[in-house]
Structure 1
């Protein structure tokens, strides 16, 4: 077992958003998405990865297949493989999102 305190890995930069890895094992990959005010990740998709996004703190917008969805602390979103998604911190505070990725390419 491994334990990490999220507060210990929060590092926001003014230049661009960041992803801080937490745990990776087999088909599971977890990390924190860190957005300072105004930062974005452009729309993109993964053909072989299901993702779950859980808002730890702050608020912003997640676009899912071009539809913008406002999210805030304690909201959770599921984005299955092949679905387009992107992120935008629309607030004046930092935004922290837990990302859980599951590689489904090895499923039979």
Structure 2
């Protein structure tokens, strides 16, 4: 068993969003993405993967294949790896996403930012 406090992984940077790895086992990785207001995750794909996310704090606009959806604390989302994915914290408070990526496409997706 492994136990951690998610709060320890909710770190912020004034210049860009932060990604902190919580767990990595085999081809799965779990991490937090933390955003100050106005920060965003650029559009990208996760080829051959499945991405699951839950909004822990705040919210913003999730864009999947060019379609915008507002998400808020408590929302959960599943994305196929071929779908183009981005997030923009459009709110006035910080946002934190809890993300699980299965079948990691390559090591770039399993690193802290």
Same fold (TM over 0.5): yes
Alignment partner, residue 7 of structure 2: 7
Displacement of 1:42: 1.2
Does the residue aligned with 1:7 lie in a helix, a strand or coil? helix
Question: Counterparts in 2 of 1:84-95, with a 5 A limit?
Answer: 84-95=84-95
Q: Describe the shift of the 1:2–1:62 C-alpha distance in structure 2 as closer, same or farther (beyond 3 A).
A: same
Question: Counterparts in 2 of 1:61-76, with a 5 A limit?
Answer: 61-76=61-76
CA distance in 2, matches of 1:18, 1:65: 23
Q: Report how many aligned residue pairs link the two structures.
A: 105
Structure 1: stretches of 5+ with no match in the other structure: none
TM-score normalised to structure 1 length: 0.92
Ranges of 4+ aligned residues in structure 1 off by more than 6 Å: none
Displacement of 1:104: 6.8
Q: CA RMSD in A?
A: 1.2
Displacement of 1:40: 0.4
TM-score normalised to structure 2 length: 0.88
Alignment partner, residue 55 of structure 2: 55
Structure 2: stretches of 5+ with no match in the other structure: 106-113
Larger Rg: 1
